Amino acid sequence: MRWLVIVLLVLGAHLSLTAIAPGEAGKALIYWPFAKDSRPAVDILGSATKPITLLLSAVAGLSLLAAAASLLGWLVPPGLWSPAVILGTASSALLFILYIGVNSLIPLAVDLLLLWGVLLQKWSVAGLTGV
């Protein structure tokens, strides 16, 4: 189970970070959901859209990578695992709701699965690593 959660965390981080390194215009793909011409579904943020997109992308990606590192026992204390997952998935969900579309479905599903595990199934580093 631990490795499945690590894969989900890294996948979530990857999908979120594609907003920082978008693909070619018109080339948004299921595994690279942002392209240079990606636009929000409803542009309610005006000129703040790009900075907010970059902030949400960075927070989501770094938080989910920190959670993966914690689960692997690298640098990040186990006590920060749950807050990192919650912060990362919340940021990612906001990002993909802002850019809702077909390519948002998998990232949102990954976010929901991770949140379900942390909040309802009470996943923890100790529980997932068997320590």
pLDDT of 85-110, one tens digit each? 999 999 999 999 999 989 999 999 99
Give the model confidence (pLDDT) of 11-47 as tens digits.
Answer: 999 999 999 998 888 888 778 898 888 888 877 777 8
Give the model confidence (pLDDT) of 47-76 as tens digits.
Answer: 888 999 999 999 999 999 999 999 999 999
What's the pTM? 0.91
Q: What is the Cβ-side half-sphere exposure of residue 76, based on CA atoms within 13 angstroms?
A: 19
SS3 23: strand
Instruction: Return d(Cα 31, Cα 103) in angstroms, integer.
Output: 8
Question: What is the tally of structural domains in the chain?
Answer: 1
Q: What is the Cβ-side half-sphere exposure of residue 60, based on CA atoms within 13 angstroms?
A: 30
Per-residue confidence (pLDDT) for residue 131, from 0 to 100: 66
Domain extent at residue 44: 2-129
Per-residue confidence (pLDDT) for residue 38, from 0 to 100: 84
